[in-house]
Structure 1
Amino acid sequence: MNKSLIVVCPHCHAPNRVPEDRLAAGGACGKCKSSLFAGKPVELDAASFERHIGRSDLPIVVDFWAPWCSPCRMMAPAFVQVAGELEPHYQLAKVNTEDQQELAARFAIRSIPTLAIFRGGREIARQSGAMDAASLKRWIQANA
Protein backbone atom coordinates (compact mmCIF):
# COMPACT_ATOMS: atom_id res chain seq x y z
CA MET A 1 0.00 0.00 0.00
CA ASN A 2 1.36 3.39 -0.97
CA LYS A 3 1.80 5.96 1.77
CA SER A 4 0.28 9.41 1.30
CA LEU A 5 1.99 12.62 2.37
CA ILE A 6 0.47 15.97 3.24
CA VAL A 7 1.85 18.75 1.03
CA VAL A 8 0.75 22.31 1.76
CA CYS A 9 -0.02 24.40 -1.32
CA PRO A 10 2.47 27.26 -1.82
CA HIS A 11 -0.33 29.46 -3.23
CA CYS A 12 -3.42 29.08 -1.02
CA HIS A 13 -1.75 27.17 1.86
CA ALA A 14 -4.33 24.37 1.83
CA PRO A 15 -3.10 20.91 2.86
CA ASN A 16 -3.24 18.26 0.11
CA ARG A 17 -2.81 14.49 0.36
CA VAL A 18 -0.37 13.19 -2.28
CA PRO A 19 0.66 9.54 -2.74
CA GLU A 20 4.39 9.31 -1.96
CA ASP A 21 5.17 7.61 -5.27
CA ARG A 22 3.44 10.48 -7.13
CA LEU A 23 5.44 13.34 -5.57
CA ALA A 24 7.74 13.62 -8.57
CA ALA A 25 4.70 14.04 -10.84
CA GLY A 26 3.90 17.26 -8.99
CA GLY A 27 0.18 17.57 -8.77
CA ALA A 28 -2.31 20.34 -8.36
CA CYS A 29 -3.92 21.74 -5.24
CA GLY A 30 -7.40 20.38 -4.65
CA LYS A 31 -8.58 23.81 -3.51
CA CYS A 32 -7.01 26.40 -5.87
CA LYS A 33 -5.85 24.05 -8.68
CA SER A 34 -2.34 25.63 -8.72
CA SER A 35 0.79 23.48 -8.87
CA LEU A 36 1.85 22.08 -5.49
CA PHE A 37 5.49 22.71 -6.40
CA ALA A 38 6.41 26.17 -7.63
CA GLY A 39 10.16 25.59 -8.08
CA LYS A 40 10.88 28.56 -5.82
CA PRO A 41 10.68 29.38 -2.10
CA VAL A 42 7.30 30.09 -0.54
CA GLU A 43 6.90 33.47 1.21
CA LEU A 44 5.38 32.85 4.64
CA ASP A 45 3.62 35.08 7.14
CA ALA A 46 2.59 34.01 10.64
CA ALA A 47 -0.62 32.24 9.55
CA SER A 48 0.85 30.43 6.54
CA PHE A 49 3.95 29.52 8.58
CA GLU A 50 1.75 27.62 11.02
CA ARG A 51 0.00 25.75 8.20
CA HIS A 52 3.22 24.75 6.44
CA ILE A 53 5.22 23.82 9.54
CA GLY A 54 2.32 22.21 11.37
CA ARG A 55 0.72 20.26 8.54
CA SER A 56 3.32 19.37 5.91
CA ASP A 57 4.93 15.94 5.91
CA LEU A 58 7.84 17.33 3.87
CA PRO A 59 10.87 18.86 5.56
CA ILE A 60 10.47 22.65 5.41
CA VAL A 61 13.66 24.74 5.14
CA VAL A 62 13.03 28.31 6.29
CA ASP A 63 15.29 31.24 5.46
CA PHE A 64 14.79 33.95 8.11
CA TRP A 65 15.99 37.10 6.33
CA ALA A 66 15.51 40.87 6.04
CA PRO A 67 15.55 43.18 2.99
CA TRP A 68 18.34 45.39 4.42
CA CYS A 69 20.69 42.40 5.00
CA SER A 70 23.45 42.16 2.36
CA PRO A 71 24.34 38.50 3.08
CA CYS A 72 20.61 37.66 2.83
CA ARG A 73 20.35 39.31 -0.58
CA MET A 74 23.58 37.62 -1.74
CA MET A 75 22.25 34.18 -0.72
CA ALA A 76 18.76 34.67 -2.22
CA PRO A 77 19.61 33.40 -5.76
CA ALA A 78 21.26 30.27 -4.30
CA PHE A 79 18.19 29.64 -2.12
CA VAL A 80 15.92 29.91 -5.17
CA GLN A 81 18.20 27.57 -7.15
CA VAL A 82 18.23 24.96 -4.39
CA ALA A 83 14.43 25.19 -4.00
CA GLY A 84 14.06 24.16 -7.63
CA GLU A 85 16.58 21.35 -7.28
CA LEU A 86 15.24 19.80 -4.06
CA GLU A 87 11.51 19.91 -4.77
CA PRO A 88 9.39 17.81 -4.40
CA HIS A 89 11.16 16.13 -1.47
CA TYR A 90 11.79 19.36 0.45
CA GLN A 91 9.94 22.65 0.52
CA LEU A 92 11.92 25.88 0.92
CA ALA A 93 10.34 28.97 2.43
CA LYS A 94 11.29 32.53 3.36
CA VAL A 95 10.25 34.59 6.36
CA ASN A 96 10.94 38.33 6.23
CA THR A 97 11.90 39.09 9.85
CA GLU A 98 11.07 42.78 9.39
CA ASP A 99 7.46 41.97 8.48
CA GLN A 100 7.15 38.92 10.75
CA GLN A 101 8.83 40.12 13.94
CA GLU A 102 6.75 37.81 16.12
CA LEU A 103 8.09 34.75 14.27
CA ALA A 104 11.66 36.05 14.56
CA ALA A 105 11.18 36.52 18.30
CA ARG A 106 9.46 33.16 18.77
CA PHE A 107 12.38 31.34 17.15
CA ALA A 108 15.02 33.56 18.78
CA ILE A 109 16.51 34.70 15.48
CA ARG A 110 19.56 36.70 16.57
CA SER A 111 21.43 36.96 13.28
CA ILE A 112 20.37 36.77 9.68
CA PRO A 113 20.29 34.95 7.46
CA THR A 114 19.37 32.04 9.71
CA LEU A 115 18.21 28.80 8.15
CA ALA A 116 16.05 26.35 10.08
CA ILE A 117 14.76 22.94 9.03
CA PHE A 118 11.38 21.86 10.37
CA ARG A 119 9.93 18.36 10.22
CA GLY A 120 6.79 17.12 11.92
CA GLY A 121 6.07 20.57 13.32
CA ARG A 122 9.37 21.03 15.14
CA GLU A 123 12.77 22.50 14.38
CA ILE A 124 15.41 19.83 13.75
CA ALA A 125 18.41 21.87 12.52
CA ARG A 126 19.64 25.47 12.38
CA GLN A 127 22.48 27.29 10.63
CA SER A 128 23.33 30.99 10.64
CA GLY A 129 25.17 32.76 7.84
CA ALA A 130 24.96 32.87 4.08
CA MET A 131 25.86 29.80 2.01
CA ASP A 132 26.42 29.15 -1.67
CA ALA A 133 24.05 26.77 -3.48
CA ALA A 134 26.26 23.67 -3.17
CA SER A 135 26.87 24.19 0.57
CA LEU A 136 23.21 24.92 1.16
CA LYS A 137 22.09 21.78 -0.66
CA ARG A 138 24.63 19.62 1.25
CA TRP A 139 23.54 21.11 4.60
CA ILE A 140 19.85 20.47 3.88
CA GLN A 141 20.37 16.91 2.71
CA ALA A 142 22.63 16.10 5.69
CA ASN A 143 20.27 17.53 8.29
CA ALA A 144 16.74 16.88 7.04
Structure 2
Amino acid sequence: MSEPMTLACPHCHRRNRLPGERLDQAPRCGACKEPLFSGAPVDLASAQFNAHANADLPLIVDFWASWCGPCRQFAPVFAQAAATVEPRARLAKVDTEAAQDLAARFAIRSIPTLLIMHRGKEVARLNGALPPAEFQRWVDGNLPRV
Protein backbone atom coordinates (compact mmCIF):
# COMPACT_ATOMS: atom_id res chain seq x y z
CA MET A 1 0.00 0.00 0.00
CA SER A 2 1.40 3.39 -0.98
CA GLU A 3 1.60 6.51 1.14
CA PRO A 4 -1.57 8.62 1.31
CA MET A 5 -1.47 11.74 -0.82
CA THR A 6 -3.42 14.97 -0.80
CA LEU A 7 -5.12 16.55 -3.77
CA ALA A 8 -7.68 19.30 -4.16
CA CYS A 9 -11.13 18.73 -5.61
CA PRO A 10 -11.62 20.47 -8.99
CA HIS A 11 -15.20 21.35 -7.97
CA CYS A 12 -15.18 22.55 -4.35
CA HIS A 13 -11.35 22.87 -3.99
CA ARG A 14 -11.36 21.04 -0.64
CA ARG A 15 -8.31 18.93 0.06
CA ASN A 16 -8.73 15.16 -0.07
CA ARG A 17 -6.43 12.48 1.20
CA LEU A 18 -6.28 9.07 -0.45
CA PRO A 19 -3.83 6.25 -1.12
CA GLY A 20 -1.83 6.75 -4.32
CA GLU A 21 -3.01 3.43 -5.76
CA ARG A 22 -6.61 4.75 -5.74
CA LEU A 23 -5.88 7.61 -8.16
CA ASP A 24 -7.00 5.60 -11.19
CA GLN A 25 -10.09 4.13 -9.46
CA ALA A 26 -12.40 7.13 -10.10
CA PRO A 27 -12.13 8.60 -6.58
CA ARG A 28 -14.71 11.12 -5.38
CA CYS A 29 -14.36 14.16 -3.14
CA GLY A 30 -15.14 13.47 0.50
CA ALA A 31 -16.86 16.87 0.83
CA CYS A 32 -18.92 17.43 -2.35
CA LYS A 33 -18.95 13.81 -3.65
CA GLU A 34 -17.98 14.95 -7.19
CA PRO A 35 -15.29 13.04 -9.14
CA LEU A 36 -11.74 14.12 -8.30
CA PHE A 37 -10.81 13.76 -11.99
CA SER A 38 -12.96 15.12 -14.79
CA GLY A 39 -10.64 14.80 -17.79
CA ALA A 40 -10.72 18.58 -18.24
CA PRO A 41 -8.58 21.46 -16.98
CA VAL A 42 -9.88 23.32 -13.95
CA ASP A 43 -10.13 27.13 -14.06
CA LEU A 44 -8.35 28.51 -11.01
CA ALA A 45 -8.66 31.93 -9.44
CA SER A 46 -6.25 33.25 -6.85
CA ALA A 47 -8.39 31.96 -3.96
CA GLN A 48 -8.19 28.31 -5.07
CA PHE A 49 -4.69 28.22 -6.54
CA ASN A 50 -2.71 27.27 -3.42
CA ALA A 51 -4.97 24.32 -2.57
CA HIS A 52 -4.01 22.74 -5.91
CA ALA A 53 -0.40 23.96 -6.17
CA ASN A 54 0.54 22.73 -2.67
CA ALA A 55 -0.96 19.26 -3.14
CA ASP A 56 0.98 16.03 -3.57
CA LEU A 57 -0.49 15.70 -7.06
CA PRO A 58 1.54 17.69 -9.63
CA LEU A 59 -0.24 20.68 -11.17
CA ILE A 60 0.30 21.76 -14.78
CA VAL A 61 -0.76 25.38 -15.16
CA ASP A 62 -1.53 27.28 -18.35
CA PHE A 63 -1.26 31.04 -17.73
CA TRP A 64 -3.29 32.64 -20.52
CA ALA A 65 -5.49 35.60 -21.53
CA SER A 66 -8.59 35.76 -23.71
CA TRP A 67 -7.09 38.37 -26.06
CA CYS A 68 -4.00 36.21 -26.79
CA GLY A 69 -4.13 34.41 -30.17
CA PRO A 70 -1.51 31.74 -29.32
CA CYS A 71 -3.35 31.10 -26.02
CA ARG A 72 -6.61 30.46 -27.87
CA GLN A 73 -4.83 28.19 -30.38
CA PHE A 74 -3.19 26.19 -27.57
CA ALA A 75 -6.38 25.83 -25.48
CA PRO A 76 -7.66 22.68 -27.30
CA VAL A 77 -4.22 21.01 -27.00
CA PHE A 78 -4.19 21.69 -23.27
CA ALA A 79 -7.79 20.50 -22.84
CA GLN A 80 -7.15 17.25 -24.72
CA ALA A 81 -4.03 16.58 -22.63
CA ALA A 82 -6.12 16.53 -19.45
CA ALA A 83 -7.76 13.29 -20.59
CA THR A 84 -4.38 11.57 -21.00
CA VAL A 85 -2.38 13.15 -18.17
CA GLU A 86 -4.95 12.65 -15.38
CA PRO A 87 -4.63 11.12 -12.81
CA ARG A 88 -0.84 11.61 -12.90
CA ALA A 89 -1.38 15.36 -12.61
CA ARG A 90 -4.09 18.03 -12.51
CA LEU A 91 -4.27 20.54 -15.37
CA ALA A 92 -5.36 24.08 -14.58
CA LYS A 93 -5.87 27.33 -16.41
CA VAL A 94 -5.19 30.73 -14.85
CA ASP A 95 -6.51 33.83 -16.61
CA THR A 96 -3.75 36.41 -16.13
CA GLU A 97 -6.24 39.27 -16.50
CA ALA A 98 -8.46 37.97 -13.68
CA ALA A 99 -5.59 36.74 -11.46
CA GLN A 100 -2.99 39.46 -11.88
CA ASP A 101 -1.56 38.66 -8.45
CA LEU A 102 -0.70 35.12 -9.60
CA ALA A 103 0.81 36.44 -12.84
CA ALA A 104 3.00 38.77 -10.78
CA ARG A 105 3.87 36.09 -8.21
CA PHE A 106 5.17 33.78 -10.94
CA ALA A 107 6.72 36.59 -13.02
CA ILE A 108 4.64 35.78 -16.08
CA ARG A 109 6.11 38.00 -18.80
CA SER A 110 4.66 36.31 -21.88
CA ILE A 111 1.67 34.11 -22.52
CA PRO A 112 0.95 31.35 -22.77
CA THR A 113 3.35 30.29 -20.04
CA LEU A 114 3.16 26.73 -18.75
CA LEU A 115 4.33 25.72 -15.27
CA ILE A 116 4.53 22.39 -13.53
CA MET A 117 4.09 22.77 -9.77
CA HIS A 118 4.61 20.06 -7.18
CA ARG A 119 4.10 20.49 -3.45
CA GLY A 120 4.21 24.28 -3.78
CA LYS A 121 7.36 24.48 -5.87
CA GLU A 122 7.81 25.23 -9.55
CA VAL A 123 9.59 22.28 -11.19
CA ALA A 124 9.37 23.26 -14.88
CA ARG A 125 8.45 26.27 -17.03
CA LEU A 126 7.83 26.74 -20.72
CA ASN A 127 6.96 29.93 -22.58
CA GLY A 128 4.83 29.59 -25.68
CA ALA A 129 2.40 27.15 -27.21
CA LEU A 130 3.35 23.69 -28.47
CA PRO A 131 1.79 21.17 -30.84
CA PRO A 132 0.16 18.20 -29.06
CA ALA A 133 3.05 15.72 -29.42
CA GLU A 134 5.67 18.22 -28.24
CA PHE A 135 3.52 19.30 -25.31
CA GLN A 136 3.09 15.65 -24.28
CA ARG A 137 6.88 15.11 -24.50
CA TRP A 138 7.47 18.20 -22.33
CA VAL A 139 4.97 16.97 -19.75
CA ASP A 140 6.37 13.42 -19.74
CA GLY A 141 9.93 14.72 -19.40
CA ASN A 142 9.19 17.11 -16.52
CA LEU A 143 6.32 15.59 -14.56
CA PRO A 144 7.39 14.43 -11.08
CA ARG A 145 6.50 10.82 -10.26
CA VAL A 146 3.89 10.42 -7.54
Measured against the shorter chain, the TM-score band is: over 0.9
Question: Which range moved further: 108-117 or 132-141?
Answer: 132-141
Q: 1:2 deviation in Å? A: 2.7
Structure 1, residues 50-85: CA drift from partner, whole Å, max 9, x if none? 11112x111100000000000000000000000111
1:72 and 2:76 equivalent? Answer: no
Partner of 2:36: 36
**2:34 aligned partner, one-letter code:** S
Instruction: Output the CA distance in 1 between the equivalents of 2:132 and 2:90.
Output: 15
Partner of 2:52: 52
Instruction: Output the CA distance in 2 between the equivalents of 1:111 and 1:49.
Output: 20
Partner of 2:105: 106
State the 4+ residue runs in structure 1 displaced beyond 4 angstroms. none
Q: Equivalences for 1:1-144 in 2 at 5 Å?
A: 1-54=1-54, 56-144=55-143
Structure 1, residues 9-40: CA drift from partner, whole Å, max 9, x if none? 00000111121111111211000000000100
Q: Which runs of 5+ in 1 are unaligned?
A: none
Q: Give me the identity figure in percent.
A: 52
TM-score scaled by structure 1?
0.96
Contact 1:26 1:88 in 2 (8 A): no
**2:142 aligned partner, one-letter code:** N
CA RMSD of aligned residues (A): 0.8
**2:35 aligned partner, one-letter code:** S
SS in 2 for 1:63: strand
Structure 1, residues 78-124: CA drift from partner, whole Å, max 9, x if none? 00000111100111000000101111011110000000000111101
TM-score scaled by structure 2?
0.95
SS in 1 for 2:23: helix
**2:76 aligned partner, one-letter code:** P
Instruction: Output the CA distance in 2 between the equivalents of 1:125 and 1:2.
Output: 26
Instruction: Output the CA distance in 2 between the equivalents of 1:95 and 1:63.
Output: 6
**1:104 aligned partner, one-letter code:** A
